[in-house]
Amino acid sequence: MDLNLFWRGPLRSGNFPTDPESIENLNQVGIYLRIKLYKNSRTVAYIGQSRTLISRFDQHLTRLLSLRQPLRDSNGLVVEHCYIENRLFVLNGIAEMAPLAIEEILRTEFYFALAQDGFDISYLTLIEAMLKKRAENITRHQLDNIQNINPGEFDHEISIVSDFSNVDVRGVELIKGIIGNTPIKIPMTQEDLMHAG
């Protein structure tokens, strides 16, 4: 069985849809990559899933705006005093922190695949888990949300297949640099991991 990810994007500040029909088209179940690009080609990625993608994208950006997420400088290094436990320090330094939050928002891009285009939503957690596992093994970039998700057991072979035809060349290279290009076979063998690119 193939689970097809028809990647789209990027969505970023300045090109989010504003008309009701386009917004509704993003009010869908899907898998996504949040990518932040820094100096010296440093990339920090986040792999997630959501029942309503547009709301999830908004949450990511709102957490930055509200200074409730660690901020990074232009080199991609976490600004140490931006951690949540230093909330009062962050609030006292709002003149310094707010520009960092805006810069983070401006460098954030979302790539996504809608469930309705190629996979049943019952496989959403499996896809997220396997993309994270693949990324942990091949990416030369930092992942913000590595976590051990149990994908469950299946009595049939499954392949997660990416299609990049709706993404520009730059986006394709970014996505491939994080999750690879070849299909992910489940169950994934050690050989699959070694040839994940």
95-116 tens-digit pLDDT = 888 899 999 999 999 999 999 9
pLDDT of residue 190 exceeding 50? no
Mean pLDDT of the chain: 85
The DSSP result for 65-116, as a single string, is HTT-S--B-TTS-B-GGGSGGGHHHHHHTHHHHHHHHHHHHHHEEEEEEEHH
**Kind of pairing, strands 43-50 and 30-37?**
antiparallel
Domain count of the chain? 1
Determine the pLDDT at residue 186: 84
2-58 tens-digit pLDDT = 999 999 999 999 999 999 999 999 999 999 999 999 998 888 999 999 999 999 999
**pTM, entire model:** 0.86
131-165 tens-digit pLDDT = 998 888 876 556 666 555 555 556 678 999 999 99
Determine the pLDDT at residue 40: 83
What range does the domain containing 111 cover? 2-194
